[in-house]
Amino acid sequence: MAKTGGTEPETSPEKRSQSAKPLEAAGWGVVLLWLGITSLFALGWPVFLIGLGVIALAMQGLRAMLQVAVEGFWLILGVIFIVAGVSESFGTRFPFVPVALILFGLAALYDAFKKLR
């Protein structure tokens, strides 16, 4: 994303790619911590899924703020995790796999057409 009129220089793609690696490592660290906390305190699957979705969305928000490419896969998965966790906490069944497949298919088509332009 190029900024116009700002005083900050645009970051090169190489630097953005390099800054993604520590973000990804930190993200997986937070996921493992969350898994340990929810397991240790027996918080249950709904709480784990909601937290996992929040972590996925927060990591993508952080990537956007740092001008690192946002990954649509994790945006979609984050939303699905939150919906599945909320659904599970209310005792309803969420068709996780079919919805995930549909959304990932749509995301793949969107990415393919976006690259054609």
Q: Where are the domains of the chain?
A: 19-116
Name which residue leads in pLDDT, 116 or 56.
56
Q: Does 3 score more than 60 pLDDT?
A: no
The predicted-structure confidence for 25-66, as pLDDT tens digits, reads as follows 999 999 999 999 999 999 999 999 999 999 999 999 999 999
Give the per-residue pLDDT at 11. Answer: 57
The predicted-structure confidence for 68-106, as pLDDT tens digits, reads as follows 989 988 998 899 899 989 998 998 887 877 888 888 888
Scored b (16 or more CB within 10 A) or e, 53-63 reads bbbbbebbeeb
Per-chain mean pLDDT for the chain: 85
Which backbone phi and psi does 108 adopt, to 5 degrees?
A: -65, -40
Q: What span, in angstroms and rounded, lies between the C-alpha atoms of 111 and 71?
A: 11
Give the per-residue pLDDT at 17. Answer: 67
Give the per-residue pLDDT at 16. Answer: 60
